[in-house]
Amino acid sequence: METATLENNVEQSTTSELSFQIEKEVLLNGLRIVERATAQNGYQPVLANILFDAADKTKINLYATDFDMTISTSVEANVSSLGKITLPAKKILDIVSRLNDGIIDFVLNGTVMTIKSGKSKFDIIGISATEFPKIEYLTEEDNEIELDLKPFIIGVKEVCFAAASFESNNNLLSGVVCDINKNVLEIASTDGNRLSRAKKIISNKDDKSVKLIIPAKVLQEFMKVSFFIEEDTIKLYTKNNKIMFKSDNITMISNLMNGQYPQYNQLIPQSFPKEAKVNVKKLLSALERVSTMVDEKKKTVKFSFTENSLNLMSATPESGNSEDEIDILYSGEDILIGFNYQYLLDFIKNVDAEDVIICMNTNLSATVFKPNNEEDYIYLVMPVQIR
């Protein structure tokens, strides 16, 4: 039996290197926070693992990294023997989530972790903690800024989707600019065809200023991790092209991106001769209907603005065409303008407002969408040329 080898290993080893007891739900929470930083691609098996490190008698620190991003947290535990080991994230999550509620026992022998809960027992083969990458922390001496968490997360949600989705971290447009100046956070991203920019008032004790380009992927993960943060603020530390987000219990480290980010504010027109007020729900359902007939290569939906009316049209030579009409508030000149419908859906699904204002110049110039209830969040889209 395959089990024999493992059990023999366990018996041969007499002193345990790490042992602790932990509440199931507490551990599960911790695992769910760090697992998003694991790399499951198989190139370096230890990166698919979570490092369990009992630094003192009352808690276990959990770490995961894919080199681009590192997340750590600590969970309360009753530690009887200090030590560390890395365990496969997927297996350990599978197991812990299926255990009955209650206390789980962990006992390490060599690289085999024995897990017991009630009558359930598992021996999991880990990888030595010495193979886990050394994590370079930033310290409190490094450039520190303390931000209100909520407006920061809202800003991230409002702009992240407009970043370019390039795999490579070298492409600046796959980053998000965070420009903190006294008590204003300006956060923006653009993929060259559209731009999303939000401004948030934040408390900033020491009136510090900093401009950072953070990978959009990292901010998206931070947004998810932030649900586990109980405090109202988050501390940012920066040094040598690294950034560290730190709350009481969660630390996230990422590389920063370097380079000259486009001067995006220069792209935003200062005035718009044509402004239409459009109900978000009506626009969403009309756009979803009309886009059933969109040419998926071009993704173009035509918007025809006439007095208090917006007509949406789409067509594809093979399938046919579609149109829809919604009542709006508009008193400007008639204008016919084409948009990539996917760009508009991204915005409409992320905006938290009843109405949006669509601000136009010509049908070839940058068009700005903004929620009716907020001046400082704008979404700029370059129209598609239509015949």
Residues 186-205 that bind a second copy (CB under 8 A): none
Cβ at position 315, least distance to a second copy in Å: 4
Please pick, from the candidates 225, 286, 335, 384, the single residue that binds a second copy as defined by CB under 8 A: 286
User: Are the beta carbons of 328 and 319 closer than 8 angstroms?
Assistant: no
The interface region with a second copy, picked from 48-56, 135-143, 280-288, 343-351 by CB under 8 A, is 280-288
Amino acid at 267: L
120 or 183, CB closer to a second copy?
120
Task: Please give the C-alpha separations between residue 183 and each of 180, 202, 210, 214, in angstroms, as whole numbers.
Answer: 7, 5, 11, 20
C-alpha 49/C-alpha 127 separation (Å) is 8
Other residues' Cβ atoms within 10 Å of the Cβ of residue 214: 25
Task: Please give the C-alpha separations between residue 342 and each of 157, 176, 258, 317, 372, in angstroms, as whole numbers.
Answer: 17, 20, 29, 20, 21
Tokens representing 31 are 């695992």
Asked if residue 352 binds a second copy (CB under 8 A), the reply is no
User: Are the beta carbons of 370 and 377 closer than 8 angstroms?
Assistant: yes
Q: x/- contact string, 139-168, with a second copy (CB under 8 A)?
A: ------------------------------
Asked if residue 313 binds a second copy (CB under 8 A), the reply is yes
C-alpha 20/C-alpha 123 separation (Å) is 15
Asked if residue 99 binds a second copy (CB under 8 A), the reply is yes
Asked if residue 326 binds a second copy (CB under 8 A), the reply is yes
Task: Please give the C-alpha separations between residue 379 and each of 162, 280, 316, in angstroms, as whole numbers.
Answer: 9, 14, 27
Q: What angle do CA 363, 368, 369 make, to 5 degrees?
A: 120
C-alpha 199/C-alpha 183 separation (Å) is 10
144 HSE (CA, 13 A, CB side): 13
Please pick, from the candidates 136, 231, 232, 288, the single residue that binds a second copy as defined by CB under 8 A: 288
Cβ at position 50, least distance to a second copy in Å: 15
Q: x/- contact string, 231-270, with a second copy (CB under 8 A)?
A: ----------------------------------------
1 or 43, CB closer to a second copy?
1
Asked if residue 317 binds a second copy (CB under 8 A), the reply is yes
Tokens representing 360 are 């136009």
The interface region with a second copy, picked from 16-24, 49-57, 323-331, 354-362 by CB under 8 A, is 323-331
Q: x/- contact string, 100-119, with a second copy (CB under 8 A)?
A: x-----------x------x
218 or 278, CB closer to a second copy?
278
Cβ at position 317, least distance to a second copy in Å: 5
Asked if residue 322 binds a second copy (CB under 8 A), the reply is yes
Please pick, from the candidates 134, 205, 297, 387, the single residue that binds a second copy as defined by CB under 8 A: 387
C-alpha 283/C-alpha 6 separation (Å) is 62
Task: Please give the C-alpha separations between residue 333 and each of 67, 217, 304, 305, in angstroms, as whole numbers.
Answer: 54, 41, 11, 8
Please pick, from the candidates 3, 139, 266, 331, the single residue that binds a second copy as defined by CB under 8 A: 3
Please pick, from the candidates 8, 165, 241, 292, the single residue that binds a second copy as defined by CB under 8 A: 292
Binding interface with a second copy (CB under 8 A): 1-3, 5-6, 88, 91, 94-95, 98-100, 112, 119-125, 285-286, 288-290, 292-293, 295, 313, 315-326, 386-387
